Amino acid sequence: MRSCILPVCLIMIAVILCAGCADFGVSPASTVEPSPPQSYQATPITPVSGDVTGTETTTPQPGGLTIDASPERYIPFMSSTVGIRLTPHFETSADVVYNWTTDYGYFVSWNETDGKVTLHDQSIETEEPSIYWSYPPDDMGIEKPPVTIRLVVQTARLIHGGGGGRGTIAWEDIHIAWEDTDTAVTEK
């Protein structure tokens, strides 16, 4: 009788440990605490001349644009999130548009209130600051390239100056590396 208890206990422990990793659905409720967000410092840029005239592009002051990334480590089968949440922090009085691009993976919008998930391509332009980054679960088990995600913050619309273009206010890159082939890790 005693020899049966140990295997049963080990199986129960394995089931309990794997329970949060086996859910393929998206659940807005989670008992897993996310990792604290990481901040990345912006790199100031200078205005680029082109067909937009009469605009003034500002360069952020030190500490102007940062991007928090949470969780720090991510795989697609995590039941607590749909990806790495990217949240920019930027102080401006202008209406802005957030242009996100990535060289691998895709972006995801997730309404945590109603659980609605929308998959996007490798670029998205949005007025909502936060977005999630993920990669296809079909790519698990294969080697993946290092990832660069770029955020360009632009004025929503030019009021004067013609051309109807946008002025770049700031931009920032963050990078994702890989641990054990499938775990995406945001680099500090």
Give the pLDDT confidence score for residue 78 in this predicted structure: 84
Give the pLDDT confidence score for residue 47 in this predicted structure: 38
Consecutive 10-residue averages of pLDDT for the chain (188 residues): 56 50 41 40 38 41 74 90 92 86 96 88 94 95 96 76 70 94 91
Furthest C-alpha separation in the chain: 85
C-alpha closest to that of 69 among 149, 183, 159, 163 = 149
* The pair of three-digit structure tokens given for residue 133, joined into one six-digit string: 């980054």
Give the pLDDT confidence score for residue 11 in this predicted structure: 62
Give the pLDDT confidence score for residue 142 in this predicted structure: 95
Give the pLDDT confidence score for residue 177 in this predicted structure: 97
Give the pLDDT confidence score for residue 12 in this predicted structure: 54
Strands, sheet with 106-111, edge to edge from the N-terminal-most edge strand: 65-70, 84-90, 131-134, 106-111, 116-119
Query: Does 71 sit behind a cis peptide bond, omega within 30 degrees of 0 on the bond before it?
Result: yes
Distance, in Å, from the CA atom of 138 to the CA atom of 58, rounded to the nearest integer, reads 42
Report CA 105 to chain centroid distance, whole Å: 10
Give the pLDDT confidence score for residue 70 in this predicted structure: 95
Q: Are 66 and 89 in contact (CB under 8 A)?
A: yes
